[in-house]
Amino acid sequence: MSTLETTAGQALDLRAQRLQGRRILVIGAAAAKSVSRFVGLEWVPIRVNRIYPRALDTPCAPAALYLSSRESSFVTGIALAVDGGRSFH
């Protein structure tokens, strides 16, 4: 069994010039990521993962299908950025 959550991908962009006015979004996204990791460890065998799409038109379907499939049976508690590498640090 699997649960999949989404959070705004813009929250992963931590460059100082882009944080202005979005601090609450960033704090909320960090909290959501932590909750996914904690619940992913506590609710075994239920897999809990999170996807961070960059925008509404980001093609997240392949990532969502993978994380919901049996092929990802050993994947839990992750936060996957689907943003074309924009949040890579």
Give residue 34's region: left, alpha or beta (phi > 0; psi -120 to 50): alpha
Kind of pairing between the strands at 79-82 and 2-6: unpaired
Domain 2-82: homologous superfamily in CATH: NAD(P)-binding Rossmann-like Domain (3.40.50.720)
- Over the stretch 57-84, which tens digit does the pLDDT of each residue have? 778 889 999 999 999 999 988 888 888 7
Rounded mean pLDDT, 37-52: 84
Residue 81, CA distances (Å) to 22, 30, 42, 43, 45 in order? 18, 13, 23, 22, 23
Domain segments of the chain: what residues?
2-82
- Over the stretch 7-38, which tens digit does the pLDDT of each residue have? 766 666 665 556 666 777 777 777 888 888 88
More confident residue, 22 or 50: 50
The reported pLDDT for the residue numbered 88 is: 65
Helix (H, G, I), strand (E, B), or coil: what is residue 39? helix
More confident residue, 62 or 39: 62
